[in-house]
Chains A and B, each alone.
Chain A
Amino acid sequence: MIDGPAIAAALEASAFAQWLRSAGLTYATVNLLHLLGLCLLVAPMLLLDLRLLGLGRRYPLPALERDLSPWLVTGLVLLLVSGAALFSADAVPLSGNRVFLTKIALLGFALVNALAFRVLWSGHLPHWDRAPPTFGRLQALLSIALWLSVAAAGRLIAYL
């Protein structure tokens, strides 16, 4: 059986987590990388979702998707790596923090939504504008709501 609290305690006590908490700008730097990752993920994600919802039809959807996706994936990887590091610094309190757990649940939904979109519609993008699927558009709307909520929940960990 997986012992969550013990894992969190071990993570928080690790040399890596101690280095993150140490005096100096380490923690702040990782925080900035997390913010950079957020910008790189959310900006192309919003542009793509708005395009799926029917805005900016003069930009061909397949080309837009192809050009924006690398940025978005880079942002996501940066977010996951820096996020895991920030988590390790305070693993014990965070793993019991309701705002943090809400954020992780929302993140799970957002990732499932994004992956499902890719599986369902990536072949459909060239003729999206002729017959935009209602469910696909709902997913784009959900994507906007979910990613902004993940970002908001993340920021609110420090306040609520």
Chain B
Amino acid sequence: MTRRSMIALIPALALALALPALAHHGWGSYDADKLQDFQAELATVAYRNPHAQVEVDRDGERWLVILAPTTRMEARGLPPDALVVGRTIGIQAYPRSDGTRELRAERIVVDGRTIELR
């Protein structure tokens, strides 16, 4: 490999090294230091991919709660009919750091059964 061609590689390598750092930053969109633990009635349910999501009303505000991919939910005992509008479930979730009313659920409690979603 010539010296010149090695120099040509530097920008590509720099970019490749920078990518994991960026991706790691992505988890920061939810604040893992602010675990929310509450009961709420399901206002809407979307049992869908790439992840299921529900909406709940909390202190007069509507929050979107991101759950997990449908296959994972089914594998952990949460078929589509386990989440229906009007049912009250327990939610342990992290809020988005940017203030959007959106939570990412770590686990939910349905009929006294705790289901890990991660």
User: A: which residues have CB within 8 A of B?
Assistant: 20-28, 31, 50, 53-55, 89, 137, 141, 144-145, 148-149, 152, 155-156, 158-160
B118 at the A/B interface (Cβ < 8 Å)? no
B37 at the A/B interface (Cβ < 8 Å)? no
Q: A23-B48, A137-B8, A144-B15 are in contact. List 17 more A-B contacts (CB 8 A).
A: A20-B49, A21-B48, A22-B49, A23-B49, A23-B71, A24-B70, A24-B71, A27-B50, A54-B2, A54-B4, A54-B8, A55-B5, A89-B50, A141-B11, A141-B12, A159-B25, A159-B26
What residues of B have a CB within 8 angstroms of the CB of A148 in the complex?
Answer: 12, 15-16, 19
Which of B4, B16, B29, B74 is within 8 Å of A160, CB to CB?
A: B29
- The reply to whether B69 and A28 form a contact with Cβ atoms under 8 Å apart is yes
Total number of A-B contacts with CB less than 8 angstroms? 70
What residues of A have a CB within 8 angstroms of the CB of B23 in the complex?
Answer: 152, 155-156, 159
User: B: which residues have CB within 8 A of A?
Assistant: 1-2, 4-5, 8-9, 11-12, 15-16, 19, 22-23, 25-27, 29, 47-50, 69-71, 74, 80
What residues of B have a CB within 8 angstroms of the CB of A50 in the complex?
Answer: 9
A20 to B49 alpha-carbon distance, docked (Å): 8
Instruction: Using A23-B71, A148-B16, A149-B15 as known contacts, say yes or no to A159 and B29 having CB atoms under 8 A apart.
Output: yes
